[in-house]
Structure 1
Amino acid sequence: MIQDFYCNAVLNGRTKVKIVFETDSVLAFHHTRPFYENHVVVIPKVHIYSLISEEVGNTEQLLLEMLRIIKKVAAEMVEETGASKIIANLGEYQDTKHLHWHVVSGERIR
């Protein structure tokens, strides 16, 4: 079974999250176990394995929507904290096999 916390716990409501921004296709929320003082995750509401998987080729509009939300979250974070970083993990670095970006700022806490 593919390890997909976002489909198996977040999107089905088993794990409650503090939503930052939401559309019909994209969800941005505070990380449930943050690694930084400010840590938001942005995910599509449909399963896409990874940014480099073949299925991404058919989802250009979804990727554009995700980038608009990432830009909005990052801009708000910069306004509030003075900085932000956008991180996408791939391959062995990608613990949860569901396309996602982290928008973070502040000190690393784990």
Structure 2
Amino acid sequence: MLETDNVLAYYHTNPFYPVHIVAIPKKHISSLITLEENDHDLLLELMGVIQKVAAMVTEEKGACRVIINLGAYQDSKHLHWHIVFGEPLK
């Protein structure tokens, strides 16, 4: 879908929405709340990828959601954002 040296955005392997893209840093960071000061450049790069993917989905579908989960809501313990469109799949 979209890749930089430090970030990967890909279609979710088990989607919960009709359009479900996940953006992750290639470096392991367990959560948004465990980011460290030296991760700020990586976070900016990640946000740039999320912005591009969200713009692509919005251009194609007219809207999107950008979601991040924490704590018990975070199934995968690797920092990631969901870029989604549509109603949840049953």
The count of residues paired between Structure 1 and Structure 2 equals 90
Runs of 5+ consecutive residues of structure 1 not aligned to the other structure: 1-19
Q: What's the % identity of the aligned pairs?
A: 57
- 1:56 positional shift: 3.0
1:74 and 1:80 map into 2 onto residues whose CA distance is 10
Contact 1:49 1:99 in 2 (8 A): yes
- Return the letter of the residue paired with 1:89: N
Counterpart for residue 83 of structure 1 = 63
TM alignment of 1:1-110, pairs within 5 A: 20-53=1-34, 55-110=35-90
CA root-mean-square deviation: 0.8
Return the offset for 1:82: 0.6
- Runs of 4+ with deviation above 6 angstroms: none
Question: How far apart, CA to CA, are the structure 2 residues paired with 1:108 and 1:97?
Answer: 22
**Residues 28-47 of structure 1: per-residue CA shift (max 9 Å, x gap):** 00000000000000000010
Residue 58 (structure 1) shift: 1.8
Query: Counterpart amino acid of 1:28?
Result: A
Given that 1:48 and 1:56 are in contact with CA atoms closer than 8 Å, whether structure 2 keeps it comes out as no
CA distance in 2: counterparts of 1:101 and 1:57, whole angstroms = 19
The structure whose RCO (Cα within 8 Å, separation 6+) is larger is 2
Give secondary structure in 1 for the equivalent of 2:31.
coil
CA deviation digits over 1:70-95, x for unaligned, max 9?
Answer: 00000000011110000000000000
